[in-house]
Amino acid sequence: MKNLFTKNVVILASTLILAATASMGYAQGNAAAGESKVVVCGACHGATGNSAVAENPKLAGQNARYLLKQLHDIKSGARVVPLMTGLLDNSSEQDLQDMAAFYADQEKTLEGANPDLVELGESIYRSGIESLNVAACSACHSPTGQGNEQAGFPALGGQHAQYTVNQLKAFRSGSRANDGNAMPMRIVAERLTDREIDAIASYLSGLN
């Protein structure tokens, strides 16, 4: 069973890297140009991408490839974010690239993890749950939570715990489904309990 679990982790990570790398072309945006294009975004995400409201994601320090994909998905409707409806309609491809570059260039602040949940959260993040065939989160998002820009996997360290909880539950319910045809986040999230989701999110909020 252990060998099968390990094999599945390797296959999943390899498949996702290939899929994400081939999913779209990527051009480098201009962070300086992006600063003036994200002014309106600051109302929810903070001037430098460190949102003050736990339900709104921190964008600072997020890799540009992932940010650009999310901007594409939100603009196209593949990912529904009610508060952003229509905000990107007039944004060009260069605008989106510049916005992503600006946020990627900012420094993310860290939160504090709940000590009662750290052990469980760290265990799932670093080792997965073998009995449920849940792969370690670190396989795609790196041991330090910094993600994998080349593959387009997001950085998770320092993110608001509440935002991470909301997104995992959205993947679990299927209300968020822009994780690709392989459905890695939906598959993982549907196997997690609320407590496990809370633990992972709390652990990530303090991970650097």
Q: pLDDT digits over 92-133, tens only?
A: 999 999 999 999 999 999 988 999 999 999 999 999 999 999
Q: Which pLDDT does position 156 carry in this prediction?
A: 98
Looking at domain 2-21+110-205, its CATH architecture is: Orthogonal Bundle (1.10)
Q: What is the Cα–Cα distance from 202 to 156, expressed in whole angstroms?
A: 11
Domain residue ranges of the chain, discontinuous segments joined by +: 2-21+110-205, 25-104
Q: pLDDT digits over 57-83, tens only?
A: 999 999 999 999 999 999 999 999 999
- Compute CA distances 41 → 118, 154, 160, whole Å: 32, 19, 17
Topology of domain 25-104, CATH: Cytochrome Bc1 Complex; Chain D, domain 2 (1.10.760)
